[in-house]
């Protein structure tokens, strides 16, 4: 098997009764191993979907059905390590985000070791998303693939339709468990096993057929009277207390500020309830966050020790942030919205692209490995890099940009929604995406230009002649 490549992401899930407009929302920062790894936003049409799939990393070969659905995707631009589609929405308005790298322990690996020639993050969206017609069906298809082929890594995967959100976590080489997120709840999931309390007999859970028996047979449960999958199959390491738990803590602190918790707590809850309905802007804020208004903020006033103690959610290794929204109370043709931004998330905005299209705007799909400010990926990364040199100097530019840009995107979206409701041809969605792309690219370019102009007056390499 090729050298394993992995990322370290952060996921947020929002049930339909917990969201501002009644949508289901699954979202994730797609973080990589390196700071830069160009990505594209594309549509995979049925004719372009492989029928005989072969992974680059593991070499696994999978025969795929001959009836794929069209779907959006965010693949790598450079395919040395495979496609890595990250996330998308198919033409039946089913969304999938894959994957959140999670943790495990030696007890389960001693029973069900990883499979070197199995499936992994590189493959999952391609193997599952084009063939499912509900979130629940996504869990079932992925579960069957894990049983047949196994996996070489631990991952968490989100599925949604307009009604349900499901979260699946792989366990060992072939096992898995999944839980339906309550409609009135949210989840913040970092790079650890996240599912805690689990009822194998409940309607809102699914799992490998023998998982419950395996826990009993091998005496895996450390608790006396509960079944907590994080305790049974996950980790509680020192690394978790600085790398993973603080990210869950900050997201929960933002959505549920009245709940007092320790950022290093190993038992921060999986299922949470906010003190208000959650907006797309809220989700983007948390996925861009760096412990703002705490002593742990990298850009804050805390001690150097505090500022480097915890791994932030927004980080230089963010390659994209996607927020997959399946809306209710709108026609099916406009229900799926693939919100997207590239690069480190401190100086960008997510754009609400309609998913029911057969192509994507050029500036979002044509990035390659050559630096080029005419491509959104490289433009976003450049803006984030400049902003990082003096966050306090540039943050007000970012705040104004984000407010005005999101307002402009929402105006285009509202106008398009209204046109569709009044019976306009669905092809208008492709034109709307072009408008959104142009608006985003123009505003991101202006932000970078404003920062360069303002920052040039504050360079250290200057001398006042007073003449």
Instruction: Please check whether residue 420 is in contact with residue 358, taking contact to mean a CB–CB distance below 8 angstroms.
Output: no
DSSP state of 192: S
**How many whole angstroms separate alpha carbon 343 and alpha carbon 448?**
14
Non-local (6+) Cβ contacts of 76 within 8 A are 37, 38, 39, 40, 82, 83, 84
391-421 and 376-389 are packed helices; what angle lies between their axes, rounded to 10 degrees?
A: 150
Q: What is the DSSP code (8-state) at residue 279?
A: P
Range list of β-strands (E), 90-202: 95-101, 155-160, 165-171, 175-180, 186-189
- State yes or no: is 381 an active-site residue: no
CB 88 within 8 A of CB 338: yes
Tokens 């080029």 label which residue? 372
Structure tokens at 436: 């959104």
Instruction: Report DSSP state, residue 300.
Output: S
Please state, as a whole number, how many other Cβ atoms lie within 10 Å of the Cβ of residue 52: 8
Distances (CA, A) of 305 to 241, 245, 310: 15, 18, 10
Strand partners, 339: 323, 352
**Residue with tokens 């990298």, as numbered in its chain:** 298
Q: Report the C-alpha gap between 224 and 12 in whole angstroms.
A: 31
Q: For 168-199, give one letter per residue: b (16+ CB within 10 A) or e.
A: bbbbbbbbbbbbbbbbebbbbbbbbbbbbebe
Question: Which residues are CB-contacts of 30 (< 8 A; sequence separation ≥ 6)?
Answer: 7, 9, 39, 74, 86, 87, 318, 319, 320, 321, 322
Q: In whole angstroms, what is the distance from residue 75 CA to residue 369 CA?
A: 13
Q: 194, 99 in Cβ contact below 8 A?
A: no
Q: How many CB atoms lie within 10 A of CB 414?
A: 10
How many residues are listed for the chain in this entry? Answer: 467
The answer to whether 307 touches 338, Cβ cutoff 8 Å, is: no
Which of 5, 7, 8, 9 is an active site residue? 9
H or E segment and range at residue 341: strand 336-342
Residue 93 to residue 87: CA distance in whole angstroms: 13
Which residues are the active-site residues?
Answer: 9
């Amino acid at each position: 098997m090729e050298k394993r490549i992995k990322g370290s992401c952060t996921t947020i899930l929002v049930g339909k009764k917990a969201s501002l407009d009644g949508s289901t929302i699954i979202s994730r920062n797609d973080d990589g191993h390196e700071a830069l790894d160009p990505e594209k936003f594309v549509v995979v049409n049925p004719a372009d979907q492989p029928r005989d799939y072969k992974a680059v990393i593991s070499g696994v070969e999978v025969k795929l059905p001959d009836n794929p659905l069209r779907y959006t995707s965010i693949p790598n631009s450079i395919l040395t390590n495979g496609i890595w589609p990250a996330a998308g929405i198919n033409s039946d308005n089913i969304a999938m985000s894959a994957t959140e790298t999670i943790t495990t322990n030696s007890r389960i690996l001693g029973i069900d070791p990883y499979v070197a020639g199995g499936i992994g993050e590189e493959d999952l969206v391609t193997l599952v998303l084009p063939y499912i017609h509900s979130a629940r069906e996504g869990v079932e298809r992925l579960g069957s693939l894990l049983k047949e082929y196994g996996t070489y890594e631990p991952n968490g995967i989100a599925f949604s339709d307009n009604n349900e959100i499901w979260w699946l976590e792989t366990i060992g080489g072939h096992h898995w468990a999944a839980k339906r997120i309550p409609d009135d709840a949210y989840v913040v999931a970092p790079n650890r096993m996240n599912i805690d309390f689990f009822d194998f007999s409940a309607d809102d859970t699914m799992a490998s057929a023998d998982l419950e028996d395996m826990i009993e047979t091998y005496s895996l449960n450390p608790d006396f009277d509960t079944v907590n999958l994080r305790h049974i199959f996950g980790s509680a390491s020192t690394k978790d207390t600085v790398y993973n738990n603080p990210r869950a803590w900050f997201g929960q602190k933002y959505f549920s500020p009245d709940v007092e918790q320790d950022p290093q707590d190993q038992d921060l809850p999986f299922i949470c309830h906010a003190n208000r309905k959650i907006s797309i802007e809220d989700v983007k804020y948390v996925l861009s966050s760096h412990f703002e208004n705490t002593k742990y903020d990298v850009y804050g006033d805390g001690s150097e020790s505090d500022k480097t103690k915890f791994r932030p959610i927004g980080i230089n290794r963010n390659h994209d942030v996607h927020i997959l929204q399946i809306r209710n109370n709108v026609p099916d043709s406009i229900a799926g919205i693939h919100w997207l931004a590239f690069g480190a998330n401190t100086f960008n905005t997510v754009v609400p692209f309609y998913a029911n299209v057969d192509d994507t705007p050029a500036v979002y799909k044509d990035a390659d490995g050559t630096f080029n400010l005419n491509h959104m990926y490289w433009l976003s990364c450049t803006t984030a890099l400049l902003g990082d040199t003096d966050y306090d100097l540039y943050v007000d530019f970012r705040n104004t940009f984000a407010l005005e840009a999101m307002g402009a995107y929402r105006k285009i979206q509202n106008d398009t929604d209204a046109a569709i409701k009044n019976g306009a041809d669905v092809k208008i969605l492709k034109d709307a995406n072009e408008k959104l792309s142009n608006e985003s690219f123009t505003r991101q370019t202006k932000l970078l230009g404003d920062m360069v102009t303002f920052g040039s007056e504050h360079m250290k390499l200057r001398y006042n002649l007073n003449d």
